[in-house]
Amino acid sequence: MFGVGISSGGSFTDAVIMDLKDWRVIAKAKSPTTYQDFSLGIISSLDKVLLASQIPADQVGLVSLATTLATNAIIEGRGGRIGLILIGIKHLELVGLKPETARDLPVHSVASIVGGHGPDGIEAAPLDVGGVREAVKHMLGEVDGFAVSGLFSVRNPEHELTVKRMIAQTCSKPVVCGHELAGSLGIYERTVTAVLNARIIPIIERLMKEVKGALAQRGISAPLMLVRGDGALMNEAVALERAIETIQSGPAASVIGGKFLASKDDVVVMDIGSTTTIISTVKAGTVKTDESGATISGWKTRVRAVDADALGNGGDSRIWIDDAGRLKVGPRRVMPLAFASIDFPTLKEKIAKSGSWEFINASKAMRKVDGSELINRFIGTVSRLEPITLDGLKNELSDVPVVDHLFKTLDEAGFIARIGLTPTDLMHIKGLFPLGDIEAARMGAELLAKTLGITAEELFDRVWKIMVHKITLRLTELQNSGGASYSNSADQSAVIGVLESVVSGALGDLKISCTLNSPIVGIGAPAHLFIPQVAKELNTEAIIPPNHEVGAAIGALIGNVASTSEFLIKKEMATSNFVVFPGRHVFTELEPAVEFTLKMGKEVSFAQAKRAGAAEIEFRVERKDKVVPNLGFMWSEIKVTATGRPSLEGREK
């Protein structure tokens, strides 16, 4: 049997097909990512890889997909209309629902209902069932789905479940409860997670439907898996309930792919993509995750995700000259000239005529323009003239006095797409990247080099040095902050200052060097161009494995299906009882309480993992006890994880 892994995030959607027995890569392919409709790029890369491999459809036993669709949808503010039902929350501003908070939650309507529990899992106030009924009746016709979030629902989910049942009795719209997606305290984060999840369900649903349809057309009946932000896999049935867990799945797939390709248990994975360089760490075979939850578009969620640092430097970083005449790279992302020239065939002419290598264009991002007349005219002009230089636009709109201001505002809001010279263009010139228009790239590079009074060759070297320096510095900072703790921020910036000097060699005759203890594995198409130099700076080994350019697609395929459930056993001093949460199961002795927890944990996580498509399930138990001298046992936090390989036995009904 063979498996297809697809990673759709950066400028390209990558696909691999691997032998599921020995993990041999049979074929690989790339297609441009189609941001307007992800499924097109996904299906195109799928077709390419199938064709290249010559493997018949009935030999494909598994298809697994890592996609940034959910992330993009949230950043762009897309999604369904959600009715939020809050239970037992007195201070609405704490869940981001008051004007004085920076951003409102993206909900259509909110009802605040009396009820909720206390930290001991005991009802703080009875649920106002009448209030729920009333609220649901009001919202029903206006919303696409519901989110339900109650105070201390992770200690006792009863009220959330009651509301969910009540809604399910009146309609079949999705209902997402806070406790279903998060096991730890933090009503704000759970509410955000539930709301965003409910919002993007229809978007993920559509993608799955289209990809599934395409698979069926090609005669593939294998289960379709989605990668989660922690690298684990889930099938469609579960992905439709937990769509939010696909955020960060791109970085997750790349770190898992990197670890696999390097066959190392301690390694730093660097994925040099088009927009960003992602840095993550594997220690003792475990990928570092952020247990407190990933932040997306400014919203803190409780979604467990790989702890990946995204450095705003990648192939599509803007190469520019600052006011002081210094050469800079990034952090802004622009569309490489080599690719823009394909979308806009007149680009080369425009470069020649204007003598400029930077252009603007109206962004394709689907955003509602709140159309003041000026803004509409501005956007209209930019769209009509296709790529245009900023000076050209100012001439065109010379009667608009606030054109600079307008440009700045619209640019910050993401209405403006920029085109310019990038490392990707330089790679084209070097013949390292064969997909775009080399001539356009060369024209831009020569213009910029001329401005600096250097040759295009020298420009290449200098841009490379800057990239390597930035990546090295960020890596040393990360590795340093991972191990060190500072008593204050002044100490921390002092250390970073020293690191900067070490990396840039700016300490005069004093030579200090940094040594990274683990090798660096490079993932992504341009990895081989940067990583060896970064590794050299840090006195460590660079691993550029075969198939590194499709590392994330490989990572998407090799993950396991997993499900974790979290419990708390607390000793209640007044009664000397041991209480298991969620739910308040009371025991007089610790051991039976632990036994009960493990049994329940295994049952729950087994059922969930099986539902998510796992076979050959194994358990992992993590237990953290709090014991204080003289007082003895206080509480125990227990996590039970069930993992298994994806079952190849066809799709769920």
Partner 1 sequence: MATKEEILAGLAKAVIDGDVDTAKKWAQAAIDSNIDAFEALTKGCQQGMKVMGDRYSAGEAYIPEIMLSADAMYTTMDMLRPHLKAKAVAPGTIVMGVIEGDVHDIGKNIVKMMLEASSVNVVDLGRDVPIAAFVDKVKEVNANAIGMSSLMTTCMFKMKDVVDMLVEQGLKPKVKVMVGGAPISEEFAKSVGADGYAPDAAEAVKVFEKLMRGA
Q: Considering the rule CB under 8 A, would residue 631 count as an interface residue with partner 1?
A: yes
Is 361 within 8 Å of 411 (Cβ atoms)?
A: no
Is 264 within 8 Å of 282 (Cβ atoms)?
A: yes
510 CB contacts (<8 Å, ≥6 apart)? Answer: none
Q: Considering the rule CB under 8 A, would residue 632 count as an interface residue with partner 1?
A: no
Smallest distance, partner 1 to C-beta of residue 576, A: 9
Coil, strand or helix at 262: helix
Distance of CA 478 to the CA centre of its chain: 19
Q: Considering the rule CB under 8 A, would residue 537 count as an interface residue with partner 1?
A: no
Nearer Cβ to partner 1 (508/629) = 629
Q: Considering the rule CB under 8 A, would residue 177 count as an interface residue with partner 1?
A: no
Smallest distance, partner 1 to C-beta of residue 104, A: 16
When binding is defined by CB under 8 A, the residue of 186, 312, 392, 532 that contacts partner 1 is: 186
Where does this chain touch partner 1 (CB under 8 A) — which range of 181-189, 409-417, 434-442, 616-624? Answer: 181-189
Nearer Cβ to partner 1 (324/574) = 574
Q: Considering the rule CB under 8 A, would residue 488 count as an interface residue with partner 1?
A: yes
When binding is defined by CB under 8 A, the residue of 152, 378, 415, 433 that contacts partner 1 is: 152
Is 310 within 8 Å of 251 (Cβ atoms)?
A: yes
- Strand pairing report for 614-628 and 632-646: antiparallel
Q: Considering the rule CB under 8 A, would residue 630 count as an interface residue with partner 1?
A: yes
Q: Considering the rule CB under 8 A, would residue 98 count as an interface residue with partner 1?
A: no
Nearer Cβ to partner 1 (89/335) = 89
Nearer Cβ to partner 1 (101/356) = 101
Nearer Cβ to partner 1 (596/635) = 635
Q: Considering the rule CB under 8 A, would residue 494 count as an interface residue with partner 1?
A: no
CA distance 13 to 67: 9
The 8-class DSSP code of residue 52 comes to: H
Nearer Cβ to partner 1 (167/303) = 303
- Strand pairing report for 145-150 and 175-177: parallel
CA distance 489 to 565: 36
Q: Considering the rule CB under 8 A, would residue 159 count as an interface residue with partner 1?
A: no
Smallest distance, partner 1 to C-beta of residue 625, A: 11
Q: Which two tokens stand for residue 380?
A: 């209209």
Q: Considering the rule CB under 8 A, would residue 628 count as an interface residue with partner 1?
A: yes
Where does this chain touch partner 1 (CB under 8 A) — which range of 19-27, 72-80, 87-95, 446-454? Answer: 87-95
- Strand pairing report for 561-572 and 520-523: unpaired
CA distance 72 to 207: 13
Residues in a beta bridge with 289: 306
CA distance 328 to 334: 13
CA proximity to 225, closest of 642, 613, 608, 645? 613
Q: Which amino acid is at 118?
A: G
Q: Is the peptide bond before 56 cis (omega within 30 degrees of 0)?
A: no
Q: Considering the rule CB under 8 A, would residue 188 count as an interface residue with partner 1?
A: yes
Where does this chain touch partner 1 (CB under 8 A) — which range of 269-277, 314-322, 358-366, 624-632? Answer: 624-632
Q: Considering the rule CB under 8 A, would residue 169 count as an interface residue with partner 1?
A: no
Q: Considering the rule CB under 8 A, would residue 146 count as an interface residue with partner 1?
A: no
Please tell me the total number of residues recorded for the chain in this structure.
653
CA distance 24 to 4: 12
Q: Considering the rule CB under 8 A, would residue 119 count as an interface residue with partner 1?
A: yes
Q: Considering the rule CB under 8 A, would residue 490 count as an interface residue with partner 1?
A: no
Torsion of CA 124, 129, 134, 135, to 10 degrees: 40
Smallest distance, partner 1 to C-beta of residue 635, A: 8
Element containing residue 490 per DSSP (H, E): helix 489-504
User: Dmax of the chain from CA atoms?
Assistant: 84
Nearer Cβ to partner 1 (155/173) = 155
Where does this chain touch partner 1 (CB under 8 A) — which range of 206-214, 411-419, 425-433, 625-633? Answer: 625-633
CA proximity to 350, closest of 388, 324, 380? 388
Q: Which amino acid is at 310?
A: A
Smallest distance, partner 1 to C-beta of residue 89, A: 8
Q: Considering the rule CB under 8 A, would residue 123 count as an interface residue with partner 1?
A: no
Size of the site for partner 1 (CB under 8 A): 27
Is 271 within 8 Å of 552 (Cβ atoms)?
A: yes
Smallest distance, partner 1 to C-beta of residue 139, A: 25
Q: Considering the rule CB under 8 A, would residue 60 count as an interface residue with partner 1?
A: no
Q: Which two tokens stand for residue 5?
A: 């892994």
Q: Considering the rule CB under 8 A, would residue 573 count as an interface residue with partner 1?
A: yes
Smallest distance, partner 1 to C-beta of residue 140, A: 29
CA proximity to 184, closest of 90, 301, 295? 301
Coil, strand or helix at 602: helix
When binding is defined by CB under 8 A, the residue of 626, 649, 650, 652 that contacts partner 1 is: 626
Q: Considering the rule CB under 8 A, would residue 652 count as an interface residue with partner 1?
A: no
When binding is defined by CB under 8 A, the residue of 40, 94, 161, 365 that contacts partner 1 is: 94
Where does this chain touch partner 1 (CB under 8 A) — which range of 118-126, 160-168, 435-443, 602-610? Answer: 118-126
Q: Considering the rule CB under 8 A, would residue 624 count as an interface residue with partner 1?
A: no
List contacts with partner 1 (CB under 8 A).
90-91, 94, 118-120, 124, 151-152, 185-189, 487-488, 571-574, 626, 628-631, 634-635
